[in-house]
């Protein structure tokens, strides 16, 4: 399948990055290279773009999409390790960083990846196919309490306990191997009268995907590391898609901004 991904908030990101022609920029979620292509249009030959992605299919697609540009450094890795990646490239600070969080449309559509609750696919959900932990491992090996916790915290699913309980009952007789099996369990765990706001498996699939790819736990630190990697007047643009990502990013921004320690009787912070 061709790796297609329409970059969201493209103009807003380009405006936010305030690109310097000879600057160094990082696309920490390269995908098919949609955002990166627009960044490169604003760079001179002296500018550098570092494209990071944990999905090797994405890197392959981006190299094809950006083949007309010679000032790109491709990295198979995770934006959570941005400091180590920059150190390996012998780069201290950069002028801008872009993070487009979450799953791509390609990953949702690619049947064997198991990200989608539509169709009957393998339970995988790994963004990085070289890692060992899969959705099948989570669903079949986590305890009922662990499953209930991640489905509630990462999926904000009210019926997390029912779903976790029924997953554990089902796997007593058979390993859960496909998305169809998991969807069936989820649908039977949520009262029909409550299945009126989107697909009933949406929240649980999101939760398991986040757990498999460790998307939330490191995010707060990743934002702080990214800020520390910026030059003076550097820009960091982050696109979030759900409240958990949004909360982690905003909390990190608040921490980086610092809290006012002025006496309360002062009219302005000094």
pLDDT of res. 189: 98
- Tell me the C-alpha distance between 252 and 216, whole Å: 12
**Chain region(s) in the chain for CATH 3.40.50.150:** 10-102+216-257
pLDDT of res. 81: 98
Tell me the pLDDT of the chain averaged across its residues: 93
- Tell me the C-alpha distance between 247 and 225, whole Å: 17
pLDDT band for position 108 (cuts 50, 70, 90): confident
- Tell me the C-alpha distance between 138 and 136, whole Å: 6
pTM of whole model > 0.85?
yes
Does residue 13 carry a pLDDT above 70? Answer: yes
**Chain region(s) in the chain for CATH 1.10.150.170:** 117-213
Tokens of 174: 């058979």
Does residue 197 carry a pLDDT above 90? Answer: no
Contacts of 145 (CB under 8 A, 6+ apart): 164
pLDDT of res. 3: 52
The dihedrals phi and psi of 152, each to the nearest 5 degrees, come to -75, -45
The proportion of the chain whose per-residue pLDDT surpasses 70, expressed as a percent, equals 96
Contacts of 265 (CB under 8 A, 6+ apart): none
Does residue 105 carry a pLDDT above 80? Answer: no
- Span 200-225, average pLDDT: 97
Does residue 1 carry a pLDDT above 60? Answer: no
pLDDT band for position 110 (cuts 50, 70, 90): confident
- Span 88-110, average pLDDT: 88
Judge whether 74 and 47 are in contact, CB under 8 Å: no
Does residue 147 carry a pLDDT above 90? Answer: yes
Q: Give 236 or 198, the one with higher predicted confidence.
A: 236
Does residue 22 carry a pLDDT above 90? Answer: yes
- Tell me the C-alpha distance between 220 and 133, whole Å: 22
| CATH topology for the 117-213 domain | DNA polymerase; domain 1 (1.10.150)
DSSP calls for the chain: -----PPTTHHHHHHHHT--TT-EEEESS-TTSHHHHHHHHT--TT-EEEEEES-HHHHHHHHHHTTT-SSEEEEES-GGGHHHHHHHTT---EEEEEEE-S--HHHHH-GGG---SSS--BS---SSTTSS--HHHHHHHS-HHHHHHHHHHHH--TTHHHHHHHHHHHTTTS---BHHHHHHHHHHHS-GGG--SS-TTHHHHHHHHHHHHT-STTHHHHHHHHHHTEEEEEEEEEE--SHHHHHHHHHHHHHHH----S-TT-SS--
10-102+216-257: CATH number: 3.40.50.150
pLDDT per position as a tens digit, 155-193: 999 999 999 999 999 999 999 999 999 999 999 999 999
Residue 20: count of CB within 10 angstroms of its CB: 18
- Span 18-47, average pLDDT: 96
Contacts of 175 (CB under 8 A, 6+ apart): 136, 140
pLDDT of res. 145: 98
pLDDT band for position 119 (cuts 50, 70, 90): confident
């Amino acid at each position: 399948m061709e790796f297609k991904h329409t970059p969201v908030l493209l103009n807003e990101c380009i405006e936010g990055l305030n690109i310097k022609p000879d600057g160094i920029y990082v696309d920490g979620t390269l995908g098919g290279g949609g955002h990166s292509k627009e960044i490169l249009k604003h760079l001179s030959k002296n500018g550098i773009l570092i494209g990071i992605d944990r999905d090797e299919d994405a890197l392959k697609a981006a190299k094809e999409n950006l083949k007309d540009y010679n000032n790109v450094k491709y990295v198979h890795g995770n934006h959570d390790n941005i400091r180590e990646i920059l150190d390996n490239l012998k780069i201290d600070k950069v002028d801008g960083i872009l993070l487009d969080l979450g799953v791509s449309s390609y990953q949702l559509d690619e049947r064997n990846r198991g990200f989608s609750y539509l169709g009957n696919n393998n339970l995988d959900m790994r963004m990085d196919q070289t890692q060992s932990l899969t959705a099948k491992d989570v669903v079949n090996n986590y305890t009922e309490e662990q499953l209930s916790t991640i489905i509630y915290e990462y999926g904000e699913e009210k019926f997390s306990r029912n779903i976790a309980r029924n997953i554990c009952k089902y796997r007593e007789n058979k390993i859960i191997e496909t998305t169809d099996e998991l969807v069936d369990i989820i649908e039977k765990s949520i009262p029909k009268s409550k299945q009126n706001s989107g697909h009933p498996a949406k929240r649980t699939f999101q939760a398991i995907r986040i757990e498999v790819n460790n998307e939330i736990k490191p995010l707060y630190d990743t934002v702080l590391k990214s800020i520390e990697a910026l030059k003076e007047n550097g820009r960091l643009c982050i696109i979030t898609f759900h409240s958990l990502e949004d909360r982690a990013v905003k909390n990190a921004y608040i921490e980086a901004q610092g809290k006012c320690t002025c006496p309360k009787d002062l009219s302005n912070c000094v």
